[in-house]
A and B are shown apart, each in its own frame.
Chain A
């Protein structure tokens, strides 16, 4: 069964450092998303991406965040200068028509 793959599963970084979270969406999907889940809180939408551009972003997705689809398979989330409050589980998702399929997440810890 096709699945969304995220790497790494865990990432530890120092405050102020740049991190790149990587995702390989399901191959025939057209829409791509990043969500995050701070420990004990709800899953929050960050950004959606379609046709090589951002289609929607939340207030969380400020200038420190960026997304890219550098080739036909990868979808990345970059945080330029991490803050303590960026510590969370980050989920990538993709969809074709209805229903998002999520990866298993990257646990980001900012020290």
Chain B
């Protein structure tokens, strides 16, 4: 069984400040990990994913995440927040067959303060 915990349902940061969205996972098998972003009235867009190899993965829009097995974490960061980053962010986990279903966290709504 797999699960995802996202700490903080709402996060507010000032424009230009560091963005840190937390994700911890539980998985009985080595996981694949994902971050998705959902802008208002839109679908889920893949930001980045970790499958194998380098534990620091870079995604679109300047976001990156680091897989830390010892901490069972996959936190999402961006050095400098833009107004356009305001959205809902979902962390997700799957097994390693690649086509397995995703289990999502409850999401974190990111607000950017001008």
A and B form one complex: yes
- Scoring B34, B90, B102, B103 by chain A CB atoms within 10 A of each residue's CB, the highest score goes to B102
Encode contact with B along A86-111: 1 for CB under 8 Å, 0 otherwise: 00000101010111111111000000
For residue B51, which residues in chain A have a CB less than 8 angstroms away from its CB? 98
Interface size class of A (residues with CB under 8 A): 20 to 34
* Contact residues, B95-112 vs A (CB, 8 A): 98-99, 101-107
Q: In the complex, how many angstroms separate the beta carbon of B66 from the nearest chain A beta carbon?
A: 18
| Residue pair B107, A91 in contact (C-beta under 8 Å) | no
Interface flag for B43 (CB, 8 Å): yes
| Residue pair A45, B98 in contact (C-beta under 8 Å) | no
Closest to A44 in B: B104
| Residue pair B104, A43 in contact (C-beta under 8 Å) | yes
Closest to B46 in A: A99
| Residue pair B36, A102 in contact (C-beta under 8 Å) | yes
Closest to B34 in A: A99
| Residue pair A95, B106 in contact (C-beta under 8 Å) | no
Q: In the complex, how many angstroms separate the beta carbon of B91 from the nearest chain A beta carbon?
A: 10
| Residue pair A43, B44 in contact (C-beta under 8 Å) | yes
* Contact residues, B58-114 vs A (CB, 8 A): 90, 92, 98-99, 101-107
Q: How far is the CA of A103 from the CA of B43 in the complex (A)?
A: 6
Task: Using CB atoms and an 8 Å cutoff, list the residues of chain B in contact with chain A.
Answer: 32, 34, 36, 42-46, 49, 51, 90, 92, 98-99, 101-107
- Can you offer 27 A-B residue contacts whose CB atoms are under 8 A? A4-B43, A30-B99, A41-B106, A42-B107, A43-B102, A43-B107, A44-B104, A45-B101, A45-B102, A45-B103, A48-B99, A50-B99, A55-B99, A56-B101, A95-B99, A97-B99, A98-B51, A99-B46, A99-B49, A100-B34, A100-B46, A101-B46, A102-B36, A102-B45, A102-B46, A104-B42, A105-B42
